[in-house]
Amino acid sequence: MITGAQAVVDCLRREGIDHVFGIPGTMNLPILDVLRATPEIRFILTRHEQGAAFMAYGYARSVNRPAVVTATEGPGVTNLATGIGAAYKGYVPIISISGAQELWVREKDASQDIDQVTLCRPITKWAYSIPSVAKVQEAVRRAFRVALAEPLGPVHLDASRDILLEKTESEPIAPEAYRPGSLPCCPPGELDRAAALMGQAKKPVLLVGGGVLREKALDALRRLVESTGIPVATLQYHPDAYPTSYPFALGPLGRNGYSSANRALPQADVVIAIGAHIDMFSTTFKYGLISREAKLIHHSPVGTDIGVVFPVAQAVVGSTLSFIERLSERLDKKWNWINVAKLRRDWEDERQQSVDMKAIPISPPVVAQAMREALPRDGIMIVDAGNAGKHMRVFMDTYQPDTFMYINDWGSVGAALPIAMGVKLARPAQPVMATVGDMGMMCNIGELETAVRERIPVVCVVYNDRGLGNERAFQKELYGGRYFGVDYGDVDFAALAKVFGAYGERVVEPSGVFPAVKRALESGVPAVVDVVIDQESHAPVVFKR
């Protein structure tokens, strides 16, 4: 016989969970007590539950498998909500396990007692309050099954302390006995029709999304591209799904994307979206970047993603890898309709015109270019929401898959630092850098102490414009420059970093940015580079052709 808490942890071990993020509280302490005696699972104590949820986000997304976060009931769960919501919008499999008030005090308006399941339902694929110790293992098994079924996403479980302390029989069932390990292949008929449409195309373009990364299908995609000569644009959230350094790469599409992609795609007569969730920043949700006359072949592992924004000429549902491989078998044509290399050279000329090495305060493109140059090619860039992230996306050339991360379709300012910490724990051999604004850095700055204590050497570069640069840009673009509610005081984040025991530098000269970032990377400890930038240098917030 084992306790409910031991049953939870045993299920996690069978699933290969090696980290749990969170904060203990009265009702989840039984789980923490078992984790204390489980050395193969490392518990990362954070300063805030939001930080824990975003660390789990970064960990899960960087290795494409579930991560676990735990919190106590009530405010512990509400603090998790922002990170769990990000996981829901970004298709990230997080297992959230919280405490709940003991059964005998529920529905009596006890302290911290809320309906956590109802709270979590809109931001999870499944939310469940475990009603008895006999249901614990069944619930955890279902949680992993649901989180890993397409579309991937978070689930939430809660259980009260009395349930976690009760005894039950162990159910040592292996994961392969209760959930599938692969996706179904794409139907041959759908592939035949897609190939026939492509065979008629004069100007095809591939539009690639996150499914390629999740299924590790890049090698197959590269073979398809090299055999057909079809140029490749990526959706903006996944520029590393077909790295920008590869042959035929147009780069990311849309606002804050590459003009090479934005100029090529409107010319396409057939657009083949692969592993793609069509997002607003990439397409504006309007015809233009995708021509109204173009035929859209939309592949996704998830049928509900298809036809949401643009009507399709052919839908194909199934494994991304099977789509690429079996489509390749059906194509015997090669295209050479556009000079991708020239488009990319033109884009590079445009991009360099924005880099002013003499401007003081420092121009944000100077910072973005220095970060890309300092980060090794296998380094991972985590981009926060807001003005800083938009500047970084413009300069973020990619060389390998799984080296870029944004808070997809959520835009939660302040997520980058804890996400970077989760990524670094998952992939310790690779350098990890975060792009944040000063507002975003303050949101989860307490996690710097976590990074120091847990020895997680991430580098945060702060674009410090003493305010809300993104909202300044909107007020300038849409409200005649009438700025209001967007100014903060000056915070020296380098000095704060040193208070936490991290490495810190402040930079005020353009020539000092690159050396400072290099020193931070080489420090081998958590580091902050605080760069004082021009308040009036804004990345575009409205797409303009």
Count of Cβ atoms closer than 10 Å to residue 266 Cβ: 15
Calpha distance 221→252 (Å, rounded): 16
354: which 2 tokens?
């924005």
Comparing C-alpha atoms, which of 51, 52, 121, 44 is closest to residue 88? 121
User: What range does the domain containing 46 cover?
Assistant: 2-177
Calpha distance 429→379 (Å, rounded): 9
pLDDT per residue as tens digits for the range 36-75: 999 999 999 999 999 999 999 999 999 999 999 999 999 9
Comparing C-alpha atoms, which of 234, 219, 218 is closest to residue 272? 234
Is there a domain that residue 344 lies in? Answer: no
CB within 8 A of 543, min separation 6: which ones? 254, 255, 284
pLDDT per residue as tens digits for the range 167-212: 999 999 999 999 998 999 999 999 999 999 999 999 999 999 999 9
Full-model pTM: 0.96
Is there a domain that residue 522 lies in? Answer: yes
For the chain, the domain total comes to: 3
Average pLDDT, the chain: 96
* CATH number where 27 lies: 3.40.50.970
Give me the pLDDT at residue 265, please: 98
Q: Determine the residue type at 272.
A: I
Distance of CA 377 to the CA centre of its chain: 19
Is there a domain that residue 85 lies in? Answer: yes
Give me the pLDDT at residue 105, please: 73
Calpha distance 104→93 (Å, rounded): 32
pLDDT over 90 at 103, yes or no: no
Calpha distance 413→453 (Å, rounded): 24
> Per-residue confidence at 504, pLDDT binned at 50, 70, 90?
very high
3-state secondary structure of 458: coil
Is there a domain that residue 346 lies in? Answer: no
pLDDT per residue as tens digits for the range 305-337: 999 999 999 999 999 999 999 999 999 999 999
pLDDT over 70 at 453, yes or no: yes
Helices (H), 64-135: 75-90, 116-120
Based on the fold, state whether residues 524 and 385 are members of the same structural domain.
Answer: yes
Based on the fold, state whether residues 372 and 509 are members of the same structural domain.
Answer: yes
Calpha distance 279→296 (Å, rounded): 15
pLDDT over 80 at 86, yes or no: yes
Q: Determine the residue type at 390.
A: K
Based on the fold, state whether residues 399 and 418 are members of the same structural domain.
Answer: yes
Calpha distance 132→123 (Å, rounded): 24
pLDDT per residue as tens digits for the range 338-352: 999 999 999 999 999
Calpha distance 201→188 (Å, rounded): 20
With the CA atoms of 482, 486, 489 and 495 taken in that order, what torsion angle do they form, in degrees rounded to the nearest 10? -140
> Per-residue confidence at 113, pLDDT binned at 50, 70, 90?
confident
Is there a domain that residue 543 lies in? Answer: no
- Taking a C-beta distance cutoff of 8 angstroms, is the pair 535, 475 a contact? no
Calpha distance 339→193 (Å, rounded): 28
- Taking a C-beta distance cutoff of 8 angstroms, is the pair 157, 28 a contact? no
> Per-residue confidence at 545, pLDDT binned at 50, 70, 90?
low
Comparing C-alpha atoms, which of 303, 305, 274 is closest to residue 204? 274
Q: Is the C-alpha dihedral spanning 486, 488, 493, 499 positive or negative? A: negative
Based on the fold, state whether residues 284 and 373 are members of the same structural domain.
Answer: no
Is there a domain that residue 55 lies in? Answer: yes
Calpha distance 177→179 (Å, rounded): 6
Based on the fold, state whether residues 139 and 196 are members of the same structural domain.
Answer: no
Based on the fold, state whether residues 198 and 301 are members of the same structural domain.
Answer: yes
12: which strand partners? none
Give me the pLDDT at residue 107, please: 75
Give me the pLDDT at residue 104, please: 72
- Taking a C-beta distance cutoff of 8 angstroms, is the pair 269, 241 a contact? no
pLDDT per residue as tens digits for the range 129-169: 999 999 999 999 999 999 999 999 999 999 999 999 999 99
pLDDT per residue as tens digits for the range 507-535: 999 999 999 999 999 999 999 999 999 99
Calpha distance 214→236 (Å, rounded): 16
Based on the fold, state whether residues 153 and 206 are members of the same structural domain.
Answer: no
Question: For 167, which DSSP code?
Answer: E
> What is the average per-residue pLDDT within 87-116?
86
Count of Cβ atoms closer than 10 Å to residue 14 Cβ: 16
* CATH number where 258 lies: 3.40.50.1220
Distance of CA 90 to the CA centre of its chain: 6
Mark which of 124, 157, 177 sits at the end of a domain: 177
Give me the pLDDT at residue 340, please: 98
56: which 2 tokens?
């789990």
Based on the fold, state whether residues 371 and 500 are members of the same structural domain.
Answer: yes
Is there a domain that residue 545 lies in? Answer: no
487: which 2 tokens?
């100014």
Mark which of 333, 363, 388 sits at the end of a domain: 333
Helices 49-63, 75-90: inter-axial angle, 10-degree rounding: 30
Based on the fold, state whether residues 328 and 359 are members of the same structural domain.
Answer: no
Give me the pLDDT at residue 109, please: 76
Is there a domain that residue 182 lies in? Answer: no
- Of 79-93, 110-124, 393-407, 511-525, minimum mean pLDDT range: 110-124
Based on the fold, state whether residues 153 and 235 are members of the same structural domain.
Answer: no
239 phi/psi in degrees, rounded to 5: -65, -20
With the CA atoms of 446, 448, 453 and 457 taken in that order, what torsion angle do they form, in degrees rounded to the nearest 10? 160
Calpha distance 48→135 (Å, rounded): 29
Mark which of 119, 154, 177 sits at the end of a domain: 177
3-state secondary structure of 178: coil
**Strand ranges inside 219-375, DSSP E:** 232-234, 249-252, 270-274, 295-300, 314-317
Comparing C-alpha atoms, which of 159, 130, 133 is closest to residue 142? 130
pLDDT over 90 at 542, yes or no: no
pLDDT per residue as tens digits for the range 362-384: 999 999 999 999 999 999 999 99
Based on the fold, state whether residues 132 and 208 are members of the same structural domain.
Answer: no
Based on the fold, state whether residues 55 and 142 are members of the same structural domain.
Answer: yes
pLDDT per residue as tens digits for the range 220-251: 999 999 999 999 999 999 999 999 999 999 99
